[in-house]
Structure 1
Amino acid sequence: MEEVLFKTEKRQSRADIASMLRTVADKLDDGGDLTLSAGDESVTLDVPSQPTFEIKAERETEGSETELSVEFEIEWDENGDSTDGDIEIA
């Protein structure tokens, strides 16, 4: 069963997205909690020292419309850390 704790979607400039990703990276580097908020919604997560990092690029075609996406996902068991292979982004 999946429970969505927080979700938001908004068209933004590449610069704004990069800034948000830098903030997430800084929080991960600092080892602090990660708080996500939009409007009156908010959730704070305690990311462990070695979560699993997933990167997925997709092409979704529906009729004549094609949508490309890249997803970055950080996941972990609530009961502990998890570890997988090396990932590189160039």
Structure 2
Amino acid sequence: MPEEVLFKSERAQSRTEIAETLRAVADKLDAGESISLSAGEQSIELDPSERPEFEIKAERETGGSSEELSVEFEIEWTPGAEEDGPVSVE
């Protein structure tokens, strides 16, 4: 499936600034509210489903004389998809 980037922001920030951004997203998720992202001319509002998939990935990229470490957090859902209800056995 082709991928379309709807919003992207990448810049150096302090650990405190990163924590504030993650905390703001966590607060919106906890409250069941939409997440609004904006940077410069870009903005988007996203409304994750009630039970999206959550992925945490740590990576190491090596090449030449340097290496780069990263941690990625991804929340993924299908818009309009029905939520899986509880399983019942009768």
Classify the TM-score, shorter chain.
0.7 to 0.9
1:79 shift after superposition: 3.0
Asked if structure 1 preserves the Cα contact closer than 8 Å seen for 2:60 and 2:67, the reply is: yes
Amino acid at match of 1:21: L
- The superposition leaves residues 38-88 of structure 1 with CA deviations (integer Å, 9 ceiling, x where unpaired) of 0110010011110000000000001111000000000011232678xxxxx
CA distance in 2, matches of 1:27, 1:60: 32
Q: Which has the larger radius of gyration?
A: 2
- Alignment: residue pair count: 83
Aligned amino acid, residue 65 of structure 1: S
SS in 1 for 2:9: coil
Instruction: Structure 2: state its 5+ residue gaps.
Output: 85-90
Aligned to 1:56: 57
> Which consecutive unaligned segments of at least 5 residues does structure 1 have?
84-90
1:45 match = 46
**Pair 1:36 & 2:37 matched:** yes
Letter of the 1:48 partner, please give it.
S
TM-score of the pair, normalised by structure 1? 0.87
TM-score by length of 2: 0.87
